[in-house]
Amino acid sequence: MEIISGILNIAFLAQVLRLFTPYYLGASAANFSERSGVVNIAIEGFMIISAVSFALITLSTGNVFFALFAAIVINLLFALLFAAFTVKLKVNMIVTGVGFNLLMAGLAKFLLVLIYQSSSNTPRYESLPTIPVINTIPVIGEVLGDYIIIFTFLLVIISNFILFKTKFGLRLRSAGENPEAGESLGIKIRNYRLYGTLICGFLSALGGIWFASTQNTFSDGMIAGRGYIALAAMIIGKWKPVNIFFACLMFAFFEALEFVLQISGTFIPSQFIQALPYIITILVLIGIIGKTKPPAADGIPY
């Protein structure tokens, strides 16, 4: 009964909606990249580097807005570097993604040790401001008072409109579906693959910044594989923004359920509870093998 009461309340719903934010930002980031034909499995790394950038710049300048802007710029520079390897030099995209994940995770830990002589976390700092009036509402204010969370929900509509209702979206999708045909019509395929990678860098930056801001510190391992789960949500959602929305809600639900089970003191081993979101990810992916179809030229250099 304690578990059921922990689920059937407004606080649990608010927690699900909060946890939905990094999943959808990461999944949308990967979706824009793959729609352009560039496989980017480095979402985890991009979220890590933006989170540590936001934390370090906030601590050094005391200005959260400058830190927000700077962290996004840093992520865009890494995205540009990723595009240089995958689009310009045509290096294997999976290998590049693995390399970027290792680079960014190692760089974050290196900066923590170099600046704060700690490989685990930074000192605490101020978070991004919330919407004053809405933030005073109990429980729901935690969700609706957060600018990044609100943007994430709007992103469901924005990304669907951009991909399927605009000339830019049509050309972006042509780069991932049939680049030869697109090029024959005068579309600069490499440019659109670059655009997709940069949008990926921007959205994944917001996911990392949200973590660093809400926790008021950067700690090693804080992203905890959510970048990889976001990739799974994109696949489950069949590269469609609305479908991805529901996939991310599912993963957010199970992560919130993990907290409820830990608090309730259930007989289920804590190790199993902590592994629950990842187990669900594996089971769902096993169930959809062969049932999803990525963009035809996804991952194929051009």
DSSP 8-state assignment for residue 121: B
Token representation of residue 202: 């921007």
Q: Which residue in this structure is represented by tokens 């979706």?
A: 31
Question: pTM higher than 0.85 for the full model?
Answer: yes
Dihedral angle over CA of 57, 54, 126, 156, nearest 10: 150
- Owner of token pair 């594989």: 225
Residue type, 102: L
**Residue 85 carries which DSSP code?**
I
Write out the DSSP string of 29-76.
Answer: HHHHHHHTT-----HHHHHHHHHHHHHHHHHHH--HHHHHHHHHHHHH
Kindly list the domain boundaries of the chain, sorted by start residue: 18-123+144-241
Q: One digit per residue, pLDDT tens: the chain, 302 residues?
A: 555 655 667 778 888 889 999 999 999 999 999 999 999 999 999 999 999 999 999 999 999 999 999 999 999 999 999 999 999 999 999 999 999 999 999 999 999 999 988 778 899 999 998 887 776 676 667 777 889 999 999 999 999 999 999 999 999 999 999 999 999 999 999 999 999 999 999 999 999 999 999 999 999 889 989 999 999 999 999 999 999 999 999 999 888 888 777 777 666 776 776 777 778 778 877 776 666 788 999 999 98
Q: Cα 126 vs. chain centroid, distance in angstroms? A: 22
Any idea what DSSP says for residue 219?
Answer: B
State whether residue 167 is helix, strand or coil. Answer: helix
Classify residue 276 as exposed, middle or buried by CB count within 10 Å of its CB (0-12, 13-18, 19+): middle
pLDDT tens digits along 254-301? 888 887 777 776 667 767 767 777 787 788 777 766 667 889 999 999
